Amino acid sequence: MSFTQSLRRSAVDIEARLDFLIGQESGGRVPLRLRGAMRYAVLGGGKRIRPFLVIETAKMFGVPALGSIDAACTLECIHCYSLVHDDLPSMDNDEVRRGRPTLWKAYDEWTAILAGDALLTLAFEILARPETHSDPSVRAELVLLVARASGAAGMVGGQVVDLEADKLGVPAAPSLAHIRDLQAMKTGALIRVACEAGAALGRATTSERDALQRYGDALGFAFQIADDLLDADGDAATVGKAVGKDASAGKATLVSLMGIDAARAKLKEVETEAISSLAPFGSRAATLIDAARFVAQRTS
Which residues here bind ligand GRG, judged by CB under 6 A?
Answer: 46-47, 49, 79, 82-83, 85-86, 98, 155-156, 159, 186-187, 224, 227
| Between 17 and 85, CB nearer to ligand GRG | 85
Question: What are the CA-CA distances from residue 291 to residues 31, 50, 166, 176, 250 (Å)?
Answer: 38, 11, 31, 24, 31
Distance CA 111, CA 130 (A): 30
Contacts of 52 (CB under 8 A, 6+ apart): 7, 10, 11, 14, 72, 291
Share in percent of the chain as helix, strand, coil (round to 5): 75, 0, 25
Least gap, CB of 232 to ligand GRG (angstroms):
13
Please identify, using beta-carbon distances, which residue of 67 and 99 lies nearer to ligand GRG: 99
Of 138 and 156, nearer to ligand GRG (C-beta) is 156
Q: Which is nearer to ligand GRG, 200 or 222 (CB)?
A: 222
* CB closer to ligand GRG out of 36 and 157: 157
CA dihedral 126, 130, 133, 139 (to 10 degrees): 70
Give the number of residues written for the chain.
Answer: 300
Distance CA 13, CA 55 (A): 11
Cβ 149 to ligand GRG, closest distance in Å?
11
Write down the least CB distance from residue 134 to ligand GRG, Å: 29
Q: How far is the CB of 92 from ligand GRG (least distance, A)?
A: 7
Indicate the residue whose CB is closest to ligand GRG: 46
